Structures are given as structure tokens and as C-alpha cells.
Amino acid sequence: MKRILTGSAVAMLLITTAAGAQDAPFGTDTDAEYAAKLWTIMEELSLAGDGMIRAFPYEGVEPHGKMLETFYTSGSVDGHDGALIIKRNYGPEGVTADQVLSDPDKHLGAVTVMFRREEGYDPDNGNWFWAKYLPDGTLDKTPNGMRLAGRVAKGADAGCIACHSGAGDDYLFTTDHLPIK
């Protein structure tokens, strides 16, 4: 049986194979620790975990879910205040807004996040920290087991940074608002 990988999965596979886990541009223990702090902030803001606030889902595009909820706010991690964009990714293929609204936990596949870190974190890419969480707050992983947190797919032809760099200077497709730095 052949396994078909999407463009972003192929990029992740190439990065992890070529770089090796010890030289990974993302998914390090430091990235995972920072992502855990970020998840805690999202829980405190009621944007993740039990009792999180909900919004009306809208139709999504790959690689995110077929239905999405997006929240724009700010958060503070380790004394740094930055823009925080949270996207809840719902599926599977063919899921409707009514189905998501009636049982959101059943359809939530992942939570993808962009957090604008301090100046100098990754100036070539807007200083964004990227993370993809499973619904329980653990980090999702590439097919090779690399955690999806940090400078995800930096330098690759596909993946978070490559895709979002096409959105312009703010890396955001869904708004022209440049969030706080």
C-alpha cells in the first residue's frame, strides 16, 4: 500500500531527514517548553481547554481544517507581550458548520497558533513562533516524530513559514491588521 503525503508533510519529512533531530530548526525541548507555556496562557484566556469560548465556524482550506474558528488577541509569555492568533481546525472532509456547532469536541482535529515573539527571535519571518497542538494541548508531530513548535519548516519550500510568507509582511491571510509586536 502506498502512502500519499501532502506537500507540507513532504517538506516536514525532508527537513527531519536532512537535518536530523539534533540539528532541527524546530521541535526542540526549548520550543516544546515554550509551547506548553503558550497553551497555559490560552487556557487562562479561555481560548483552549475545558470551557473555551466558541465562535461560529467558517469554511477552511488545507492544510487547516475544513471548518475553522480564528481568534486574534495578545498574550504574555515570559514577560513578553505579543500578538496571538489561534486557529481551531475542524474536520473531517464534508463537515458542516452545524455539525461543528452541535459537537465541536468531536470534530476538533488540531489547534494551530502563531505568537509574535520578541524582536530578534526570527526577524526573517516576522518573529513568529508557530505551534500545532492536538485537542488535548499536546504538540502534534511530523511523520518522523518532530514536535511542531518553534520556527516550523523554516527554510523549506512548504510548511507554516513558507505558506504564510505569501500573506505579506504580517504573515496573516485573514486580516490586514498588523498585530502588536
* Residue ranges covered by each domain of the chain: 7-167
In this prediction, residue 137 carries a pLDDT of 97
Element (H, E) at 101: helix 97-102
Collapse the DSSP code of 100 into the 3-class scheme (helix H, G, I; strand E, B; otherwise coil) and give the result.
helix
Grid coordinates in use for 48?
483552549
**What 3 state SS string does 11-41 have?**
HHHHHHHHHCHHHCCECCHHHHHHHHHHHHH
Considering only 24-33, 59-68, 142-151, which range has the smallest mean pLDDT?
59-68
0.75 exceeded by the pTM?
yes
pLDDT category of residue 71 using cuts at 50, 70 and 90: very high
Contact 179, 72 (CB under 8 A): yes
At residue 65, φ and ψ (nearest 5 deg) are -70, 170
Dump strand ranges (E) for 46-124: 58-59, 67-77, 80-90, 108-116
16-30, 65-79, 146-160: which is most confident: 65-79
Predicted confidence (pLDDT) per residue in 117-170, tens digit:
999 999 998 999 999 999 999 999 989 899 999 988 787 787 787 777 777 778
CA distance 142 to 150: 13
Q: For position 154, what pLDDT does the model report?
A: 81
Beta carbons of 33 and 175 less than 8 angstroms apart: no
